Structure 1
Amino acid sequence: PQRFEPEATAGDVATQLATRFDARHYRLDLRRAPMLQLVHARDEAQDRWVAILLFHHMALDHTALEVVQHEMQAHLMGEAAQLAEAVPYRNYVAQARLGMSEQEHEVFFRQMLGEIEEPTLPFGLAQVQGDGRGIEEVTVAVDDAVGRGLRSQARRLGVSAASLIHLAWARVMALACGQEHVVFGTVLMGRMQGGDGADRALGMFINTLPICVSVGEQSVDEAVKATHARLTGMLAHEHASLALAQRCSGVAAPTPLFSALLNYRHSATQVTEALLSAWSGMQMLSSEERTNYPLTMNVDDLGDGFSLTALVESRIGAQRICDYLQVALRSLFEALEQAPQTPVQSLPVLPQAERRQLLETWNASSATYPHDALIHGQVEACAAARPDALAVRFEDRSLTYGELNARANQVAHHLLSLGIRPDDRVAICVERGLDMIVGLLGILKSGAGYVPLDPAYPAERLAFMLQDSAPVAVLTQAATRQCLADVTVPVIDLDRAEWPEASLGNPQVAGLDSSHLAYVI
Structure 2
Amino acid sequence: MGENSIEARLLSRMRRRADADRIVRGANEADGPLPLSFAQQRLWFLDRLAPGSADYLVPMALRVRGPLNVSALETALSGLVARHEVLRSAFPADDDGTPRQVITAPWPVEVTVHDLTGDAHAEERGQEVLRAEATRPFDLTTGRPLRADAVRLAEDDHYLLLTVHHIVSDGWSSGILARELRELYAAVLAEREPTLPELPVRYADFASWQRDQLTGPALERQLGYWRERLAHSTPLELPTDHPRPAHMSGAGDVVTFTVPNEVAEGLRKAAGRQGASMFMALLSLFQIVLARYCRQDDIAVGTPIAGRNRAEIEDVVGFFVNTLVMRTDLSGDPTFTELVDRVKDTALGAYDHQDLPFERLVEEVAPERDLSRNPLFQTMFVLQAPGSADGEAWALAGTDVEQVEIERGVAKFDLTLTAVESPDGLRAVLEYRTDLFERAAIERMAGHLGTLAASVAATPDAHLSELNMLTVQERQEILVDWNGVSGPYPDTATIHSLIEDRVTTDPDAIAVTHGDQQWTYTQINNRANQLAHHLRATGITPDTLIAV
Runs of at least 5 residues in structure 1 that lack an aligned partner in the other structure: 382-440, 454-464, 470-508
**SS of the residue 1:54 aligns to:** strand
Return the alpha-carbon distance in structure 2 between the equivalents of residues 25 and 376 of structure 1.
67
Return the alpha-carbon distance in structure 2 between the equivalents of residues 452 and 220 of structure 1.
28
Per the alignment, do residues 244 and 283 of structure 1 end up closer, same or farther by CA in structure 2, a change over 3 Å counting? closer
In the TM superposition, what is the alpha-carbon distance from 1:227 to its structure 2 partner?
0.6
Q: Is the 8 A contact 1:185 1:260 kept in 2?
A: yes
Return the alpha-carbon distance in structure 2 between the equivalents of residues 273 and 39 of structure 1.
20
Return the alpha-carbon distance in structure 1 between the equivalents of residues 366 and 278 of structure 2.
30
Residue number in structure 1 paired with 2:304: 187
Residue number in structure 2 paired with 1:40: 150
Q: Is the 8 A contact 2:418 2:429 kept in 1?
A: yes
Per the alignment, do residues 368 and 214 of structure 1 end up closer, same or farther by CA in structure 2, a change over 3 Å counting? farther
Per the alignment, do residues 231 and 50 of structure 1 end up closer, same or farther by CA in structure 2, a change over 3 Å counting? same
Per the alignment, do residues 368 and 11 of structure 1 end up closer, same or farther by CA in structure 2, a change over 3 Å counting? farther
Residue number in structure 1 paired with 2:386: 267
1:210 matched to 2:325? The reply is yes
1:93 matched to 2:207? The reply is yes
In the TM superposition, what is the alpha-carbon distance from 1:295 to its structure 2 partner?
0.8
Aligned-residue Cα RMSD (Å) equals: 4.4
The percent identity for this pair of structures is 19
**After superposition, what is the alpha-carbon deviation per residue over 1:295-321, rounded to whole angstroms, capped at 9, x for unaligned?**
111122448843212112350444433
1:63 matched to 2:183? The reply is no
**After superposition, what is the alpha-carbon deviation per residue over 1:475-521, rounded to whole angstroms, capped at 9, x for unaligned?**
xxxxxxxxxxxxxxxxxxxxxxxxxxxxxxxxxx9x93754579xxx
In the TM superposition, what is the alpha-carbon distance from 1:145 to its structure 2 partner?
0.9
In the TM superposition, what is the alpha-carbon distance from 1:9 to its structure 2 partner?
9.7
Return the alpha-carbon distance in structure 1 between the equivalents of residues 352 and 246 of structure 2.
26
Please show how residues 396-475 of structure 1 align to structure 2 within 5 Å.
444=508
The one-letter code matched in structure 1 to 2:384 is R
In the TM superposition, what is the alpha-carbon distance from 1:60 to its structure 2 partner?
2.5
Return the alpha-carbon distance in structure 1 between the equivalents of residues 399 and 134 of structure 2.
33
Residue number in structure 1 paired with 2:477: 357
In the TM superposition, what is the alpha-carbon distance from 1:354 to its structure 2 partner?
2.8
**SS of the residue 1:282 aligns to:** strand
Return the alpha-carbon distance in structure 2 between the equivalents of residues 452 and 108 of structure 1.
39
In the TM superposition, what is the alpha-carbon distance from 1:286 to its structure 2 partner?
2.8
- How many residues align structurally? 394
Q: Is the 8 A contact 1:128 1:259 kept in 2?
A: no
Return the alpha-carbon distance in structure 2 between the equivalents of residues 107 and 115 of structure 1.
14
**After superposition, what is the alpha-carbon deviation per residue over 1:402-444, rounded to whole angstroms, capped at 9, x for unaligned?**
xxxxxxxxxxxxxxxxxxxxxxxxxxxxxxxxxxxxxxx9x92
Residue number in structure 2 paired with 1:73: 182
Return the alpha-carbon distance in structure 1 between the equivalents of residues 140 and 402 of structure 2.
32
* Partner of residue 333 from structure 1, selected from 450, 457, 473: 457
Return the alpha-carbon distance in structure 2 between the equivalents of residues 375 and 311 of structure 1.
53
Q: Is the 8 A contact 1:38 1:54 kept in 2?
A: yes
In the TM superposition, what is the alpha-carbon distance from 1:138 to its structure 2 partner?
3.0
Please show how residues 202-351 of structure 1 align to structure 2 within 5 Å.
202-216=317-331, 217-242=333-358, 245=361, 252-254=368-370, 256-268=375-387, 278=397, 280-288=399-407, 290-302=410-422, 305-314=425-434, 315-317=438-440, 318-336=442-460, 340=461, 342-351=462-471
Q: Is the 8 A contact 2:214 2:356 kept in 1?
A: no
Q: Is the 8 A contact 2:253 2:407 kept in 1?
A: no
**After superposition, what is the alpha-carbon deviation per residue over 1:296-349, rounded to whole angstroms, capped at 9, x for unaligned?**
11122448843212112350444433322222322223233xxx2x32343222
In the TM superposition, what is the alpha-carbon distance from 1:119 to its structure 2 partner?
1.1
In the TM superposition, what is the alpha-carbon distance from 1:226 to its structure 2 partner?
1.5
Return the alpha-carbon distance in structure 2 between the equivalents of residues 6 and 272 of structure 1.
22
Residue number in structure 1 paired with 2:256: 139
In the TM superposition, what is the alpha-carbon distance from 1:39 to its structure 2 partner?
1.5
In the TM superposition, what is the alpha-carbon distance from 1:169 to its structure 2 partner?
0.7
Residue number in structure 1 paired with 2:522: 512
Q: Is the 8 A contact 1:444 1:450 kept in 2?
A: no
In the TM superposition, what is the alpha-carbon distance from 1:128 to its structure 2 partner?
10
Q: Is the 8 A contact 1:184 1:261 kept in 2?
A: yes
TM-score using structure 2 length: 0.60
Q: Is the 8 A contact 2:113 2:149 kept in 1?
A: yes
**After superposition, what is the alpha-carbon deviation per residue over 1:205-260, rounded to whole angstroms, capped at 9, x for unaligned?**
22223221122322322211111111111113324344554577796332644321
Q: Is the 8 A contact 1:267 1:302 kept in 2?
A: yes
Q: Is the 8 A contact 1:128 1:294 kept in 2?
A: no
Q: Is the 8 A contact 1:185 1:258 kept in 2?
A: yes
The one-letter code matched in structure 1 to 2:231 is G
Q: Is the 8 A contact 1:171 1:345 kept in 2?
A: no
**After superposition, what is the alpha-carbon deviation per residue over 1:184-215, rounded to whole angstroms, capped at 9, x for unaligned?**
212222222xx223222212122223221122
**After superposition, what is the alpha-carbon deviation per residue over 1:378-399, rounded to whole angstroms, capped at 9, x for unaligned?**
9x97xxxxxxxxxxxxxxxxxx
Q: Is the 8 A contact 1:261 1:297 kept in 2?
A: yes
Per the alignment, do residues 52 and 188 of structure 1 end up closer, same or farther by CA in structure 2, a change over 3 Å counting? same
Residue number in structure 2 paired with 1:108: 225
Per the alignment, do residues 28 and 93 of structure 1 end up closer, same or farther by CA in structure 2, a change over 3 Å counting? same
Residue number in structure 2 paired with 1:427: none
The one-letter code matched in structure 2 to 1:185 is G
The one-letter code matched in structure 2 to 1:253 is R
Per the alignment, do residues 514 and 333 of structure 1 end up closer, same or farther by CA in structure 2, a change over 3 Å counting? same
Structure with the greater relative contact order (CA < 8 A, sep ≥ 6): 1 or 2?
A: 2
Return the alpha-carbon distance in structure 1 between the equivalents of residues 130 and 401 of structure 2.
21
**SS of the residue 1:90 aligns to:** helix
Q: Is the 8 A contact 1:261 1:296 kept in 2?
A: yes
Per the alignment, do residues 155 and 39 of structure 1 end up closer, same or farther by CA in structure 2, a change over 3 Å counting? same
Return the alpha-carbon distance in structure 1 between the equivalents of residues 489 and 167 of structure 2.
62
In the TM superposition, what is the alpha-carbon distance from 1:72 to its structure 2 partner?
2.2
1:83 matched to 2:196? The reply is yes
Q: Is the 8 A contact 2:185 2:397 kept in 1?
A: yes
TM-score using structure 1 length: 0.63
Return the alpha-carbon distance in structure 1 between the equivalents of residues 197 and 254 of structure 2.
36
Q: Is the 8 A contact 2:117 2:152 kept in 1?
A: no
Residue number in structure 1 paired with 2:3: none
Per the alignment, do residues 93 and 237 of structure 1 end up closer, same or farther by CA in structure 2, a change over 3 Å counting? farther
Return the alpha-carbon distance in structure 2 between the equivalents of residues 74 and 215 of structure 1.
49
In the TM superposition, what is the alpha-carbon distance from 1:102 to its structure 2 partner?
3.9
* Partner of residue 235 from structure 2, selected from 99, 112, 119: 119
The one-letter code matched in structure 1 to 2:271 is A
